[in-house]
Amino acid sequence: MKIDTEGLDKTVSEIVQKISAAIPEDLKTAKEGLEKNARATVEGAFQRLDLVTREEFDIQVMLLSKSQQRVKDLEQRISELEEAVNKK
């Protein structure tokens, strides 16, 4: 599944900035290479995760809610039918 690239880019950038801030300035040349490697590593890690977009998640929550309500309604209907059969 594809995730929101804008949100992913923001998250990756934040992580890379934190890593970059931890690298001393006297290692500036190495710092640029490390930033690129860190970005690639973090992006690769996110791609291996089975993530869904917020929209997909919200749709699944809605479908689950509808399904739960349907089950509840059917359970109620079964109870009513059982009562009707037992009264006869």
What are the pLDDT digits (tens) for 11-69?
888 888 888 787 777 776 777 787 788 888 888 887 888 778 889 999 999 999 999 99
Give CA–CA dist 85/70, Å, rounded.
22
What amino acid occupies position 17? Answer: Q
pLDDT of 4 reads 58
Under 8 Å between Cβ of 48 and 3: no
Residue written as token pair 């594809």: 2
| Sign of the C-alpha dihedral computed for residues 25, 27, 29 and 33 taken in this order | negative
pTM over 0.85: no
